[in-house]
Amino acid sequence: MESNFVGLFLATHSELYEYCKTLILPGTHWLYVCDEKPVSAVKENLRTHGMDLENGWVLTSAELKLREQVIRTRPVAEVLEEKLKNGSALQGTVLFLEMSWAIRTPSGSVYLRDILVDLQQLAKRYPVTIYCLYNRELLLDEHLLLGLYAHPFLYAHSQLQPNPYCLPASVLRKITPKLQFEAWYGRIFPEVTLPAILPGAVLPAGDFEKKAYPVQSAISTLKAQTDEGRWKVRCLGELKVYRENGELIDWSSKGGATKKLKAVFAYLLLKGEKGATLEELADLLWKDEADTQQTLNRLYHCIRYLRVALSGQESSQKDSPFIVYQNGHYYLALPFDSWIDLPMFEELCFKGSQELKVNNLEQGLICYESAERLYRGDLFSDIPVKYVENNDNDWCWSRRFWYREMYHKLLYSLASVHRQLGNPNEAIKYADKALTEDPCLEMAHLEKIKALAAVKRMDAVHRQYRVYCESLKKFNMGMPSEAMRSLYLNVSKLN
């Protein structure tokens, strides 16, 4: 195993600078790629820990194309290779790479595995030692697990240890429980040849699914029996599904009603491994239709064109890998390891709130800003209300309301964090964004008044309080709360 591609899993961000000092021999050239702190702060911390800044330099993750809205593996690899080929000082260099960029954009999480594979290969081709720095306080569980799989060696407690859980690039790039098992079992018994597992769409075992929050049920679909790579599914805002190559699935197939196809896809996605009966799907689309046989015929037609849209072919077959019919139920089957925005949005919000509970404002801010970028509108905003409002089967409406409230809380929490970090203008911006969503949102009014008071804009403070009172009056929501009156009185005394 190659010992020049190493994972460092840090309990706190402050540990990493001491590690850097330990791992750099005198006279060794080094390159540090920062993400959590600005370059100036990183240089100061490295200098404080005794690092020789003459033999190294600090770059930002943005310079390595890791802060793009859409991260692609090839540009990242090309930038690194260019530096390794053209920079003579980099031959034999030690590269430190902060991995927190993975949570900043959805594509960071989607393509983290591919970038780790490319780094794994890069460490074999060039005389460079790469240390990937994983902040365990900040990164999500799936990021940490991927990091554990990627590195042949781990460094901790001043020791370099072989990693028994490392997976080869061929497995890591398209990891499945079957491939994981074969790689690890083959390492223990290299002389044993494992039998192939028979194909067929089956319900997932569940051990590999993560249930991060008790508030909403985890999304767990069947795994499509297909060689197609993982999809990216956006549910917040318009429903959009992207294939691994970035191609957007076209719902407007000939003969299929786009809104109905999206409604069925969304319904089956949220139903997950429970699936849906013919009657449920028919009631979803034609709940007021009395002729049962006619609605079932329409449903068969709809399912056919949904299969066409998902497969990208003009003809569909009953053994479609993406829409599976078993035991009187239809199921949605996604390619293994497909990315869905809903669980990540929830986890980033939860992770951010946990960081704020222990006053880790900057790390909480990173989580919250990443979550805010994920929210592009109400859940399945382009699916017509007539398919969403169903008194007998509330499959979407309550979830939509729950995510919207979560987003509102996220906005005024961002305002609070920015205010505490001394960024009043950003605090005001997020408070205004929250009030645009809900003009009666008291916490947003509170945060805006606090931010305005911090920059001594007392006229604006008084005006904001009047706006708050008028909003309550307009929507018949009673009198100002005691918390708001107390804040306003205390702030007014400072004038």
Q: What is the CATH number of the domain that holds 65?
A: 3.40.50.300
Q: What pTM did the predictor assign?
A: 0.78
CA nearest neighbour of 460 among 438, 486, 434, 427: 427
CA separation for the pair 491, 453 (Å, rounded): 7
In a domain, 196, yes or no: no
In a domain, 173, yes or no: yes
- Are residues 110 and 245 part of one domain? no
In a domain, 39, yes or no: yes
Domain count, the chain: 3
- Are residues 29 and 160 part of one domain? yes
**What pLDDT does 270 receive?**
95
CA separation for the pair 484, 446 (Å, rounded): 7
- Domain edge (last residue) among 150, 179, 208: 179
CA separation for the pair 284, 387 (Å, rounded): 6
In a domain, 201, yes or no: no
User: Residue 103: left if φ>0, alpha if ψ -120 to 50, beta else—which one?
Assistant: alpha
- Are residues 251 and 118 part of one domain? no
- Are residues 244 and 288 part of one domain? yes
**What pLDDT does 218 receive?**
64
CB atoms within 10 A of CB 345: 23
- Are residues 452 and 388 part of one domain? yes
3-state secondary structure of 109: helix
- Which domain CATH number covers 273? 1.10.10.10
**What pLDDT does 54 receive?**
83
Range of the domain at 89: 5-179
CB atoms within 10 A of CB 373: 14
- Are residues 353 and 302 part of one domain? no
In a domain, 10, yes or no: yes
**What pLDDT does 318 receive?**
64
- Are residues 164 and 42 part of one domain? yes
∠ CA 240-243-248 to the nearest 5 degrees?
Answer: 45
- Domain edge (last residue) among 297, 315, 339: 339
Are residues 295 and 289 in contact, defined by beta-carbon separation less than 8 angstroms?
Answer: yes
**What pLDDT does 84 receive?**
67
- Domain edge (last residue) among 308, 339, 370: 339
Are residues 108 and 71 in contact, defined by beta-carbon separation less than 8 angstroms?
Answer: yes
- Are residues 353 and 281 part of one domain? no
- Are residues 174 and 109 part of one domain? yes
- Are residues 169 and 38 part of one domain? yes
- Are residues 424 and 372 part of one domain? yes
In a domain, 206, yes or no: no
In a domain, 121, yes or no: yes
- Are residues 85 and 140 part of one domain? yes
Per-residue tens of pLDDT for the chain, all 495 residues: 457 899 999 987 778 888 888 888 777 888 899 999 899 999 998 888 888 788 888 889 999 999 887 788 888 888 888 776 655 445 568 899 999 999 887 778 778 888 999 898 888 888 889 999 999 988 988 899 999 999 999 998 888 999 999 988 888 877 777 788 888 888 887 765 544 433 333 333 333 223 333 344 568 888 888 888 889 999 999 999 999 888 999 998 655 578 999 999 999 999 999 999 999 999 999 987 778 788 888 999 899 999 989 988 655 556 689 999 999 999 999 998 899 999 999 989 999 999 999 899 998 999 999 999 999 999 999 999 999 887 678 899 999 999 999 999 999 999 999 999 999 999 999 999 999 999 999 999 999 999 999 999 999 999 999 999 999 999 888 899 999 999 999 988 776
In a domain, 152, yes or no: yes
